[in-house]
């Protein structure tokens, strides 16, 4: 497809070495062929060239002082990618792997994900190569304050609303919000993922994981199945993974794995949710501790993983929920999952499957829910938090959860009916990319060349 190759070549020339970004763009563009062939207006308005170029990229120095009194310097990013559908919206990631290519891929995915929610939110992402691991609470606070000393001037409740992502939870949001408030003197709904007692939304913490399970239920219902009694594998041990495990248990499935950066747990009797929450939400401990408390569970250290593979994807299962990070599931993993009978994948993480893995899932015709559709429940609930803040209300957990559930059902309907409209029923990658793109592109055309 020449327009894909031409676009990627231009991106490589004008923004070198942004590997993950090219990957995300290629996946979306490959899906668009049937739409571009059907409707000439997208080509006429040169939407492809426009949509792959962020509206604004902010890169800044974050200098802070560690507990030893040493000056530390990190890179800070906020990429305001597209505001055709609403104010920029997307999380902040703090992880040593962060560089422009990661923030750009995440921001690009966010545009289409946010469009699929049906809510009025544009796409953005931010972050830093700061590593929160091993840092004291005071160091985290000083970093967040310094990060905000630059970012505050670019954000606002109707311009750009950051949230959490890897390495950023309610604690970090609190420090950033506090500094924003101090610098601006405003108590605005400028962040989502806040704590409940100062403006957060009930069910926001649970939303991404719950949403990924609701999405899987939709995919299974279409083929007359449910999650009840199914063995599931989950990767990760953060917010997304924990609440995926919780919802899976509530609907009668058995999640048997979780993982963190140091290793993975396989607990054939089912993950003990109380232990998982205690270790990750209270103690901040490694999963190796889990095996101490549950001797029937097996811990494998990451150092002992076979080269380039995560053993989670070789565990026999009916459904898989990749909920850790990008490119955590490769082609060989996909082959192993399929061989072991896995027939449903719902992605809680952003771009966890490589293109090779996606191709295997699509060729096998299994239920495959790509991240930009399956994990959209998090950002959708962020928008519900914005709505509560703007109207000075606080909804109940049940109210938020039932809206989340309806949004996930609606995303599934949109994505699957779009796939069918273009003669590829069941291809939810194509359905998600076309449905998300069409909504944003049409708005861009309506709003003129800006």
- Is 24 in contact with 105 (CB distance < 8 Å)? yes
- Among the listed residues 179, 382, 388, 427, the single contact to ligand GLU using CB under 6 A: 382
Q: Between 342 and 379, name the residue whose CB sits nearer to ligand GLU.
A: 379
238 touches ligand GLU by CB under 6 A? no
Integer Cα distance of 35 and 291 in angstroms: 50
244 touches ligand GLU by CB under 6 A? no
Residue nearest ligand GLU by beta-carbon distance: 91
- Among the listed residues 378, 395, 411, 433, the single contact to ligand GLU using CB under 6 A: 378
Q: Parallel, antiparallel, or unpaired for β 122-128 and 71-82?
A: antiparallel
User: To which H or E segment does residue 301 belong?
Assistant: strand 298-301
Smallest gap from residue 428 Cβ to ligand GLU (A): 17
Stretch that binds ligand GLU, among 56-64, 83-91, 136-144, 262-270 (CB under 6 A): 83-91
Stretch that binds ligand GLU, among 70-78, 88-96, 291-299, 438-446 (CB under 6 A): 88-96
Q: At what angle do helices 100-116 and 19-31 cross, to 10 degrees?
A: 30
211 touches ligand GLU by CB under 6 A? no
324 touches ligand GLU by CB under 6 A? no
379 touches ligand GLU by CB under 6 A? yes
322 touches ligand GLU by CB under 6 A? no
- Among the listed residues 54, 87, 91, 431, the single contact to ligand GLU using CB under 6 A: 91
Smallest gap from residue 379 Cβ to ligand GLU (A): 4
Stretch that binds ligand GLU, among 41-49, 84-92, 180-188, 396-404 (CB under 6 A): 84-92
Choice among 89, 113, 125, 194 that is catalytic: 125
Integer Cα distance of 173 and 72 in angstroms: 21
3-state secondary structure at position 66: coil
Distance of CA 74 to the CA centre of its chain: 23
192 touches ligand GLU by CB under 6 A? yes
Closest CA to 241 of 166, 335, 301, 337: 166
Smallest gap from residue 350 Cβ to ligand GLU (A): 5
- Is 435 in contact with 424 (CB distance < 8 Å)? no
Stretch that binds ligand GLU, among 33-41, 246-254, 316-324, 377-385 (CB under 6 A): 377-385
- Is 233 in contact with 324 (CB distance < 8 Å)? no
370 touches ligand GLU by CB under 6 A? no
* 291 burial level (CB within 10 Å; 0-12, 13-18, 19+): middle
Beta-carbon-side half-sphere exposure of residue 154 (alpha carbons within 13 Å): 22
Q: Which of residues 142-171 bind ligand GLU (CB under 6 A)?
A: 163, 165
- Is 22 in contact with 52 (CB distance < 8 Å)? no
3-state secondary structure at position 347: coil
Integer Cα distance of 253 and 256 in angstroms: 10
174 touches ligand GLU by CB under 6 A? no
> Is 125 in the active site?
yes
Q: Between 122 and 311, name the residue whose CB sits nearer to ligand GLU.
A: 122
Q: Which residues contact 69 (CB under 8 A, 6 or more apart)?
A: none
Closest CA to 46 of 74, 7, 81, 83: 7
- Among the listed residues 54, 76, 86, 90, the single contact to ligand GLU using CB under 6 A: 90
Residues engaged in binding ligand GLU (CB under 6 A): 89-91, 163, 165, 192, 350, 378-379, 382
Looking at the annotation, which residues are catalytic? 125
């Amino acid at each position: 497809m020449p327009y894909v190759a031409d676009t990627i070549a231009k991106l490589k020339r004008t923004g070198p070495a942004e590997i993950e970004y090219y990957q995300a763009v290629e996946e979306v563009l490959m899906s668009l062929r049937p739409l571009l062939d059907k409707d000439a207006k997208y080509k006429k308005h040169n939407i492809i060239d426009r949509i792959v170029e962020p509206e604004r990229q902010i890169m800044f120095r974050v200098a802070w002082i560690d507990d030893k009194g040493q000056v530390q310097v990190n890179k800070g990013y906020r990429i305001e990618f597209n505001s055709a559908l609403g104010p920029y919206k997307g999380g902040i990631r703090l992880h040593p792997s962060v560089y422009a290519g990661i923030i750009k891929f995440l921001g690009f995915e966010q545009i289409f994900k946010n469009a699929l929610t049906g809510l009025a939110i544009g796409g953005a992402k931010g972050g830093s190569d700061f590593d929160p691991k091993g840092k004291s609470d005071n160091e985290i606070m000083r970093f967040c304050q310094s990060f905000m000393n630059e970012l505050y001037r670019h954000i606002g409740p109707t311009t750009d609303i950051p949230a959490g992502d890897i390495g950023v939870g309610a604690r970090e949001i609190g420090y950033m919000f506090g500094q924003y408030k101090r610098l601006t003197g405003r108590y605005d709904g400028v962040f989502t993922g806040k704590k409940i007692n100062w403006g957060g939304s009930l069910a926001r913490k649970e939303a991404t994981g719950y949403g990924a399970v609701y999405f899987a239920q939709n995919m299974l219902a279409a083929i007359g199945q449910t999650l009840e009694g199914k063995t599931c594998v989950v990767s990760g041990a953060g917010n997304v993974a924990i609440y995926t495990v919780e919802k899976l248990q509530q609907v009668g499935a058995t999640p048997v794995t979780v993982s963190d950066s140091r290793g993975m747990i396989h607990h054939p009797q089912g993950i003990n949710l109380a232990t998982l929450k205690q270790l990750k939400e209270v103690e901040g401990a490694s999963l190796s501790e889990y095996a101490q408390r549950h001797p029937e569970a097996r811990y494998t250290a990451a150092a002992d993983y076979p080269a380039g593979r995560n053993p989670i994807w070789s565990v026999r299962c009916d459904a898989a929920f990749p909920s850790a990070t990008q490119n955590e599931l490769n082609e060989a993993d996909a082959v192993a999952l399929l061989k072991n009978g896995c027939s449903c994948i719902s992605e809680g993480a952003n771009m966890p499957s490589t293109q090779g893995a996606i191709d295997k899932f699509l060729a096998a015709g299994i239920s495959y829910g790509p991240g930009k559709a399956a994990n959209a429940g998090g950002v959708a609930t962020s928008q519900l938090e914005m709505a509560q803040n703007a109207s000075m209300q606080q909804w109940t957990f049940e109210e938020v959860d039932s809206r989340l559930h309806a949004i996930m059902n609606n995303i599934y309907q949109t994505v699957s009916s779009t796939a069918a409209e273009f003669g590829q029923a069941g291809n939810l990658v194509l359905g998600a990319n076309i449905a998300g793109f069409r909504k944003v592109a049409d708005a861009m055309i309506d709003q003129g060349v800006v």
